[in-house]
Each structure stands twice: as C-alpha cells, then as structure tokens.
C-alpha cells in the first residue's frame, strides 16, 4: 500500500456523453456473469451508453447498446443501419479507479471504454 499521488483532476477529463457533453456518473463495477453482460444506461439527451470494463469487447457492447435503444428488440435493431438510423460515438481510455478519461496516448492496458448510440428518430419511440 504505497503512497499514490493522484494527478490533479482536470475538468476536461471528466467522462462526458459524446453527444451532448453531459457528465455521467461512475458506472457500477460489473463482474460479467456471462459474456456480453454490459452496464447500459440512457443519457438525458436520449443516447444509450454501454460500458465495457476491458475496452476489448466494444463490438459486443455496441450491439447491446443498439438493441437496448430499440427496447431490446434485436430483430429491429439488426435491421437498422449505422449513420442512417442511429449514430455511434466512442469514448475510450477510461480509468475506472479515478473515474476520468485519460487524454492522449498514455497507456491502454486496464482501461475501459464506452460506446454510445443515439437514434436519429427518437420521436418514434415512447
Ligand atoms: Zn447525452
């Protein structure tokens, strides 16, 4: 248990929704029970975020986020097209311990990542 010097917290490193810039809270530490068990939530702007603790399963996290955005209707989700029906944005280099996004190309191992999906026709839902 050595002394850990935390770098000064920078506002720019606060994790934010890439669509609206709204900061989001620390995602719960999830121990996936099975593969593809990602924490998902909905930003106030309507974007769905999915958290990949390892940063290596973003493709799966993306699919879950898309399905989640379509009320878990996978058939519908799979029929939709990126850029046409929804937009995808990524946020990586997330340090869960500090709850901040490391800028630049510091180091990658052990960092999490997020993928955000926002439907272009939100008014058709709900
Ligand atoms: Zn947002």
Q: How far is CA 96 from CA 16, 20, 91, in A?
A: 14, 21, 13
Q: How many CB atoms lie within 10 A of CB 91?
A: 18
CA 119 to ligand 1 centroid distance, Å: 12
- Evaluate if residue 1 carries a pLDDT over 50: no
Q: Which residue has 């995602």 as its token pair?
A: 27
CA 22 to ligand 1 centroid distance, Å: 6
CA 114 to ligand 1 centroid distance, Å: 13
Strand order in the sheet with 112-119: 39-42, 48-52, 112-119, 86-95, 100-101
This prediction's pTM? 0.83
pLDDT digits (tens, 9 = 90+) for 38-88: 999 999 999 999 999 988 899 999 999 999 999 999 999 999 999 999 999
CA 43 to ligand 1 centroid distance, Å: 5
- Which DSSP string corresponds to 27-74? PP----SSTT--EEEE-TTS-EEEEESSSS-HHHHHHHHHHHHTTT-H
Q: Where are the domains of the chain?
A: 34-124
CA 2 to ligand 1 centroid distance, Å: 38
The proportion of the chain whose per-residue pLDDT surpasses 70, expressed as a percent, equals 79
CA 21 to ligand 1 centroid distance, Å: 6
Which among 20, 75, 26 has a CA at the least distance from the CA of 48?
A: 20
CA 1 to ligand 1 centroid distance, Å: 38
CA dihedral sign of residues 72, 76, 78, 81: negative
CA 76 to ligand 1 centroid distance, Å: 23
pLDDT band at 121 (very low <50, low <70, confident <90, very high): confident
């Amino acid at each position: 248990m050595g002394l850990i010097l935390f770098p000064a917290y920078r506002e720019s490193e606060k994790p934010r929704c890439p669509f609206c810039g709204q900061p989001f809270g620390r995602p719960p530490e999830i121990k996936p029970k099975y593969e593809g068990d990602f924490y998902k939530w909905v930003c106030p702007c309507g974007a769905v975020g999915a958290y990949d603790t390892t940063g290596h399963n973003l493709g799966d996290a993306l699919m879950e986020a898309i399905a989640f955005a379509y009320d878990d209707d996978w058939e519908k989700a799979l029929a939709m097209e990126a850029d046409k029906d929804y937009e995808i944005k990524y946020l990586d280099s997330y340090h869960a311990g500090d709850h901040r996004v490391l800028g630049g190309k510091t180091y990658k191992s052990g960092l999490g990542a997020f993928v955000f999906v926002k439907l272009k026709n939100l008014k058709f839902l709900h």
